[in-house]
Structure 1
Amino acid sequence: MSTVLPPGVTDGQRSAPAWTAPATARLGKRVVVIGGWAPSLIQFRGPLLAAMVARGHQVIAMAADGTPAVTAGLAALGVPFEPIQLERTGIDPIADAQAIRALARRLAALGPDLVVGYTIKPVIYGSLAARLARVPHRAAMITGLGSALASVRSPRQRVVAAVARRLYRLGLAQCEVVIFQNTDDRDELARTGALPAGARTAIVRGSGVDLAHYAPSPLPPGPPVFLFLGRLLRDKGIAEYVEAARLVRARHPEATFQIAGWFDPNPESLTQAELDALIADGTIQYLGATDDIRPHLAAAHALVLPSYREGTPRSVLEAMAMNRAVITTTAPGCRDTVVDGDSGLLVPVGDAKQLAAAMIRLVSSRDLLTRLAAAGHARAVDLYDARKVADTVLAALDL
């Protein structure tokens, strides 16, 4: 007899499944969603998973790094969680082959109608495992190119990028549809041959933002507070943010600059020593990592994301939803989120002086700050409501 574990209960010490498919006839489709990092299933895919369940589909979520909190949060959505062994970064042929085989065996036992992967390894390895398991329908969501393709400077990085492109092509060839968050990523993968010719693609507005969860609040009083929010990766433009902050404080010492974020296993992540060196002179306040960024956004006046490339930057959407001004770059993915001078400010990638100039505009004009924040919020409501985005994704998946 098949069983369902009670909500919040998981057994991370054994490889036996935490959930077994009911033997009874089912309505809708059985869908497996595979992510690279378990908390992202709730933080970024929660509205999508909930929409699938609301339409009568049986949904199972899989990812590495599961926790009891993730299991319980997904159970509240009506989604069982199964942990998988899949390293988020690096390429280890033996370990990765073992992960694909193990995942294929589990998918074969579950018998889903559709497997959907997002982020690079779940897209590639999940698609291959689904093909091995004879899953009839397979799809990929490209949420950004990742550092393997976006940060290519050294000879080693060029080798890694070449391998990543080949793997992408192999994985995406197994998919009926590939969903992108911007046209630049689609065109880049097509140009380099990583996207098979003739592949069916769709464009969606990121993962959207939960407008009720990230409710707007009035701008705080006092001198402006600028906030950088996200993983502590070099290609997020942290060095440019710190340099720009120093330039601004030389003219406006009343301005405050903060970083809230976390270290990442990605090789492009800052080390603790590198972060300590950046903030040693006191220009930047490091707020640490947090599970809830809303208090930090509520205390800030503007979000700053000087990223080199994104899919659709979630932090920008959250800031706009909460009525905060945004400064970001003309990089792919970033430039689509705001209209320069109307609902945000755009600066060139890697240009700390232009970034500082944009910050000074907000320091100098409370009216501009207020206008950008209000227009950004209206744009979030109009274009990035997570429920609307989920409907677009489900249409692309034929669910």
Structure 2
Amino acid sequence: MKDIFLLITTVPQSLNFYKGQVQVLKSKYHIEVASSPGQRLDSFGEVEDVPVHSVPMKREISIFSDLQSLYRLYRLIKKLKPKVVHASTPKAGFLGMLAAYLNKTPVRIYFVLGLRYEGTKGFKRRFLMWMESLSCKLATHVFAVSKGTRKTLLDEKITSKEVRIIWNGSINGINPNQFDVKATPKAAIDHSLIPEGSFVFGYVGRLVGDKGTNELIEAFTTLHQSHPEIRLLLIGDFEDVQDPVSDRTRSLIKNHSAIIYAGYQSDVKPFFKLMDVFVFPSYREGFGMVVMEAAAMEKPVICSDITGCNEIIIDGQTGILIPPRSTEMLLRAMNSLRTRPELLEKLSTNARESVIQRYEQQTLWKHSLEAYREITT
């Protein structure tokens, strides 16, 4: 009989990080999944053919709700008696590690996908750092999604434990056959929205402040004043609780004639195909999976010089790195790529080869299974 391996994330959207990989893990373990309720959780269970458990969890700090979530996770773990509890994302990491520790689960893996405190200040920052530190302390093993995340965990003394990286980093790697621009049809967008001859900048991700959404809209609308042929294609949901965008940004996204807002899309590849340049001015990332996906789709990338992203993108070779929070530098980079077709071609050619060489999915899955097998046998 296989050992139970319980995978926990705060919200089911984050389960996308484990698509396909679950099938590899099932060769060794009996996988079960816990996350906040919703259609995406149910869909993940159906597609991956694994049992799922609804445990409401809020991403923001909420003492009463968090205690309820902790109790539900404690009861679930007590019932399932898993050998492994694997938790990722900050809230699920904290609650999952605490619930597993109280149940004396033998293998408790905290997989650090990003450090939420990096986008905060004052008491909230100190509190979130304490949460990360306690999550690591309660875990028997700590993994990080990138070399930069590992370095930060150790440099800022979040943990003194060994922090492991699987292969070259990332959580799920990249499937070169799936992310192939030649095999992907373009998304069906009204031609009046993107007329012939348009130069299209694109973004995929949550529309929130710390993803650099405010700076992106400001830079784009400024550049559009002198270059009306440019367009901005946005893929993702607004978030109204944690760090929402400014009212001005929201209004421009919804009303500007050159901004195409397509909302959340379960398959972003056809939308990548519409883009000339992918822009991702985030303030903080653990890795930046969408940057890797854009590069695999042969899209030149402009992204912030931050943890994770600056491991995926080689400045001047596969994309352009800019300081986070700088509308001026973002505007310069966007204008530079708009006017330099030879640089665009160079970056797009190099981008795909670079990410596939370092993050090919099947190879990452093999390394992941080996890493978990090593600590559970």
Instruction: Name the TM-score, length of structure 2 as normaliser.
Output: 0.88
Residue equivalent to 2:182: 217
Residue equivalent to 1:44: 17
Change (3 A) 1:213 1:70: farther
- For the residue of structure 2 that corresponds to 1:259, the secondary structure is strand
Structure 2 residue 87 is the aligned partner of structure 1 residue 87 = no
Q: Offset at 1:102?
A: 2.1
- RMSD, aligned α-carbons: 2.3
Structure 1 residues 342-351 or 247-256, which shifts more? 247-256
Following the alignment from structure 1 to structure 2, what is the Cα–Cα distance between the partners of residues 274 and 65?
30
Q: Offset at 1:301?
A: 1.4
- 5+ residue gaps, structure 2, are 187-195
Q: How does 1:1-399 map to 2 (within 5 A)?
A: 26-27=1-2, 29-41=3-15, 43-53=16-26, 55-67=27-39, 70-92=41-63, 94-146=64-116, 149-153=117-121, 158-195=122-159, 197=160, 199-204=161-166, 205-207=169-171, 208-217=173-182, 222-264=197-239, 266-270=241-245, 274-277=249-252, 280-398=255-373
Following the alignment from structure 1 to structure 2, what is the Cα–Cα distance between the partners of residues 274 and 356?
16
Residue equivalent to 2:192: none
The structure in which a higher percent of residues are helix is 2
CA contact (8 A) 1:310 1:332 kept: yes
Q: Deviations over 1:291-323 (max 9, x none)?
A: 221221111111100111111112111111222
Q: Offset at 1:275?
A: 0.6
Following the alignment from structure 2 to structure 1, what is the Cα–Cα distance between the partners of residues 240 and 149?
23
- For the residue of structure 2 that corresponds to 1:75, the secondary structure is helix
Following the alignment from structure 2 to structure 1, what is the Cα–Cα distance between the partners of residues 123 and 369?
36
CA contact (8 A) 1:127 1:171 kept: yes
Amino acid at match of 2:305: T
CA contact (8 A) 1:179 1:396 kept: no
CA contact (8 A) 1:39 1:66 kept: no
Change (3 A) 1:265 1:180: farther
- 5+ residue gaps, structure 1, are 1-25
Following the alignment from structure 1 to structure 2, what is the Cα–Cα distance between the partners of residues 281 and 300?
18
Structure 1 residues 218-227 or 71-80, which shifts more? 218-227
CA contact (8 A) 1:108 1:135 kept: no
Q: Offset at 1:355?
A: 1.6
- For the residue of structure 1 that corresponds to 2:313, the secondary structure is coil
Residue equivalent to 1:19: none
Following the alignment from structure 1 to structure 2, what is the Cα–Cα distance between the partners of residues 322 and 278?
25
Amino acid at match of 2:85: V
CA contact (8 A) 1:117 1:139 kept: yes
Overall identity of the aligned pairs, in %: 24
Q: Deviations over 1:33-77 (max 9, x none)?
A: 001111321x21113212101x2311001100332x542443332
Following the alignment from structure 1 to structure 2, what is the Cα–Cα distance between the partners of residues 165 and 305?
25
CA contact (8 A) 1:223 1:254 kept: yes
CA contact (8 A) 1:35 1:117 kept: yes
Q: Offset at 1:274?
A: 4.4
- For the residue of structure 2 that corresponds to 1:194, the secondary structure is coil
CA contact (8 A) 2:32 2:52 kept: yes
CA contact (8 A) 2:206 2:239 kept: yes
- For the residue of structure 1 that corresponds to 2:133, the secondary structure is helix
Change (3 A) 1:141 1:277: same
- For the residue of structure 2 that corresponds to 1:226, the secondary structure is strand
The number of residues matched between the two structures is: 361
Change (3 A) 1:272 1:291: farther
Change (3 A) 1:364 1:65: same
- For the residue of structure 1 that corresponds to 2:321, the secondary structure is strand
TM superposition outliers: structure 1 runs of 4+ over 4 Å: 218-221, 271-274, 277-281
Amino acid at match of 1:46: K
Following the alignment from structure 1 to structure 2, what is the Cα–Cα distance between the partners of residues 160 and 354?
29
Q: Offset at 1:116?
A: 0.4
